[in-house]
Structures are given as C-alpha cells and as structure tokens.
Amino acid sequence: MKFIPHEYQKFAIEYIKNNNISAIFLDCGLGKTVITLTALNDMLFDSFEIHKVLVIGPLRVCRTTWGDEIAKWDHLKHITYKVAVGNEGERLEALKAKADIYIINRENLQWLVEKSGIKFDFDMVVIDELSSFKNQKSQRFKALMKVRPKIKRIVGLTGTPSSNGLMDLFAEFKVLDMGERLGRFISNYRSQYFIPDKRNGMVIFSYKPMPGAEEKIYKKISDVTISMKAKDHLNMPELISTEYPVYMSDAERKAYEKLKNELVLEVSDTEITAANAAALSGKLCQLSNGAIYDDDGNVIKIHDRKLDALEDIIESMNGKPLLVAYWFKHDFERIAERLHSLHIPFSKLDTENSIRRWNRGELPVALIHPASAGHGLNLQEGSSTFVWFGLTWSLELYQQANARLWRQGQKNTVVIQHIVTKGTIDERILKALLEKDSTQQALIDAVKAII
C-alpha cells in the first residue's frame, strides 16, 4: 500500500528526524507507528544517521503491530526486523540475527541489558507506550537508565503521557533526557511543582500541582515534545457513549450492602474480606459484575444481571459483530459459558490468528481484556460496537481500549456501551472515566464515600 502522509504526519516524521530526543504524544488513530517507521526508514537508508534500532513495547504490539505495519506499506519494504519475544533461546536467536530493527517487549528489557550477553550497541531506541516507564522504581526503568548514555537517539511514543497526573512525567522524561528538563531527582521535581494534598499530620499521602505548575512543566518539555489530538487532524467517526443499566434483586442488593457496610460478606458459609480501599473496590466491582472470589480463590455466583443484558445486546446486533471488554477472570468464564449455551461463536482476542479472524468478520463476538489488548491493536475492521461488561478505574486502559474501534479507518459510527449495575460502584467508576478523573484519589474517595 502506498503511504500518502497527512500534513501532521509529515511534521511528526521530520520532527523525529531532526531531534535526537523526541516525545511524540499522538492520540490513538493518528498513526504513530507508521510515522516512526517512516522516520527510521529515512535515517537508515537516506541519511545513514542510524544503523541499529531497538523498539521496546507491549508484548502483543511487539508480536503483531510493528511487523504488520512494515509489511503493509510499500515504502518500508527494505526494512528488515526481528522480534525478540518468546523463550530465551528464541530471543537470543532474534537478537543475534542481522536486522535493521529489533523489537522486544518491555518485560524482557532488564534481561536484554543485564543477562542476555548481547552487546547493547543500538544507536536509536523507540519506546512504544512511554507511559509504561512512568515508575522510576520499576526494573525496566532502571535497566534502560543503565544504557541510556549509549543511546544516540531516543523516541517516546504515547497517547496518554500522564494518565495518573503530572507526577508521571518525571520518570518518562528522565528516561528520555536523563533529567535535563525535569531534574534528576523526584524529590526536587515534587518540591518545585507540587504541594501536599491529602495528609495526616506529618504523613503525606498525595500531592497536587501548585498553581501554574502545569504550564511551567509543559514549557520545560516543549522543546522535545509534540502533542496532537485525533479530533484536530482527522475526520474521526461519530462516537456515541451510552449506559445500559441493570438492577439487582432485593436479595442481591442486601448482599451488596452487607459487603459495602461491613467489609465482610458471608455467602454460602464462606467469608470474604476487604481490608483496604483497593481491595474493597475490587470486591464491589466483582459483585456488581455478578460473581465474587472468596478468600480461597473460589468463584461464588451472585447474579446474572449483566449476562442477561449482554445477551440482549447481542440479540439486538442481529448478527453484527460485537467487541466485549471484561475485567475479572470469572467475568470471562461466565460470559463464555453463556455464549456456549446460546451457541454463539466467539473468541478471546489473545493471538495473532484470533485478531485476524476478528478483522475478517469471522467472529460474531470477541472478548478482550483491556490490560492486554489496550495498546496498538487495530480492531476497527471487525466492528463498530464495544460493550464494557466490567469497568476499570484506569483512564489510560479505558481510552486505549475504546480506541481499538474509534480510530482512523473506522467506517461507521462507534457505539460504546457500558453495562452498569445501578446503585453500585459501577456508577462512580463510569463517572470518573467520563470526567477523565484518572487519579488514584478518585478510587479512594469513592470507597471512602461508600464506607
């Protein structure tokens, strides 16, 4: 296929070529992969500025997206690449082979740097989903910082650079510029731009930006950063977000209220505890979805309200494909059991083959988990309707998952339906997501309000 870049894509390509450090914040659907590959292609074969590239990304994106994009576009046909995933032998074989680009999942970065025995002589590194390096204490961050001085050029790609607030930007930019813009130490960054928020005496639980801090931070990083929104550059399909309410029976409501008020629920003579806000939130989400894990990991079914709603939605589709997001393992198991009973073909989208079958229109229903299918997958050819069976507090995962369908190339209006159990924590999560409140404090405040 011939690549005819939009003007914003031309700008981004030249930006990467002209800057040794680039933070490219592109909304989902703007084509950050083909933009980056085009810049790499020019630097590999025209200007000869680079010779060996390392791409670091989510596992499924490494396995499929980068290779598919290289194969898709005519102008990239000269690029050779190796995907270093799988067991250690497969990774070593890929890294020892001759190629222009080596692609590795972020979980194996520490192994590459510290244990593989492979010389780290990559003169350019691309971080696909820079937001996965927001934790300066993570092993992947520490491993990359060890070899950062050896890297001549680096590009960070993401659509959600600060999904949990401005504090995320510190580690992300430190890995890009080694602390030149936002400083080398998180303590200095925090004291310069933030003030204590939630606290108990001398114990500080959270921080909030000082007045004007956001503008100052953006100014600091502006010389190496470009940010573009899809709605500003593309004729995006119409997006409709709806709520599909379900209601528990009196007995089910009583069980929910007991857990909410006492943090302990006794079901079938089994005690389930929720010791803190995060654990309680998880328990309430499970109960809202219709089943809950006891303390031994057994699944106790509470209600089928969401399953019934999903069945109604599938029937209303009249055979048109439907993408469904689930959160807990027992959600998947119960959905699968219901679909089997209805003789409806379906697949979990967790392999290259299942993704291709979906995009070919061979699956009436496909199930995805946002944490494993959120980034980089193009699923818009398979459907334009997305149902959230179970919600997530993560704004980043929520937006990225929705963008699998609501993106450039989608030919139809995209409908995002949220199955919400009324009177439960579902309502608080959806409100936080729609208001783009991604902070951990939203979760804590919601649970505190419930308690």
**Quick one: which of 343, 279, 282, 334 has its CA closest to 309?**
334
Walk along the chain (451 residues) and give the pLDDT tens digit of each residue: 899 888 889 999 999 999 999 999 887 667 889 999 999 999 999 999 999 999 999 887 888 789 988 998 999 999 999 999 999 999 999 999 999 999 999 999 999 999 999 999 999 999 998 988 999 999 999 999 999 999 999 999 987 676 667 888 999 999 999 999 999 999 999 899 988 877 777 777 777 888 888 889 888 988 998 887 766 766 677 788 888 889 898 988 887 787 777 665 554 455 554 446 677 788 889 989 999 888 788 888 889 999 999 998 888 777 788 999 999 999 999 999 999 999 999 999 888 888 888 888 888 999 999 887 655 567 777 677 899 999 988 888 888 888 888 876 777 788 899 999 999 999 988 988 887 655 545 545 555 445 4
Residue 314 sits at the vertex; the CA angle it makes with 310 and 316, to the nearest 5 degrees, is 115
> Token digits for 21?
């450090």
Asked whether residue 66 falls in the same domain as residue 144, the answer is yes
Q: How many domains does the chain have?
A: 2
- 218 phi, psi to nearest 5 deg: -65, -35
Q: Is 274 helix (H, G, I), strand (E, B) or coil?
A: coil
Q: Which amino acid is at 185?
A: F
pLDDT given at position 198: 75
Residue 399 sits at the vertex; the CA angle it makes with 395 and 401, to the nearest 5 degrees, is 115
Bridge-partner residues for 273, per DSSP?
A: 264
**Quick one: which of 84, 85, 105 has its CA closest to 95?**
84
Q: What is the DSSP string of 385-434?
A: EEEESS--S-HHHHHHHHTTTSSTT--S-EEEEEEEETTSHHHHHHHHHH
Asked whether residue 210 falls in the same domain as residue 267, the answer is no
Where is the domain boundary, 187, 203, 233?
Answer: 233
pLDDT given at position 405: 81
CA separation for the pair 170, 191 (Å, rounded) = 12
pLDDT given at position 277: 64
Asked whether residue 262 falls in the same domain as residue 229, the answer is no
pLDDT given at position 388: 95
390: domain CATH number is: 3.40.50.300
Compute the half-sphere exposure of residue 333: CA atoms within 13 Å on the CB side of its CA.
11
pLDDT given at position 268: 44
Would you say residue 83 lies in a domain?
yes
How distant, in Å, are the alpha carbons of 28, 227, 246, 311, 319 from that of 316? 29, 39, 16, 9, 8
**Quick one: which of 197, 216, 87 has its CA closest to 440?**
197
The residue range of the domain holding 255 is 239-450
Asked whether residue 162 falls in the same domain as residue 307, the answer is no
Asked whether residue 19 falls in the same domain as residue 147, the answer is yes
Where is the domain boundary, 233, 268, 295?
Answer: 233
Q: How many CB atoms lie within 10 A of CB 129?
A: 22
Would you say residue 285 lies in a domain?
yes
How distant, in Å, are the alpha carbons of 28, 123, 381, 394 from that of 401? 10, 32, 15, 11
Asked whether residue 82 falls in the same domain as residue 222, the answer is yes
Asked whether residue 62 falls in the same domain as residue 179, the answer is yes
Would you say residue 312 lies in a domain?
yes
What are the residue ranges of helices labelled H in 222-274?
Answer: 230-233, 250-262
169: domain CATH number is: 3.40.50.10810
Task: Say which residues have a Cβ less than 8 Å from residue 295's Cβ, sequence separation at least 6.
Answer: 270, 271, 272, 273
Asked whether residue 229 falls in the same domain as residue 249, the answer is no
CA separation for the pair 107, 57 (Å, rounded) = 9
- 71 phi, psi to nearest 5 deg: -70, -25
Q: How many CB atoms lie within 10 A of CB 230?
A: 20
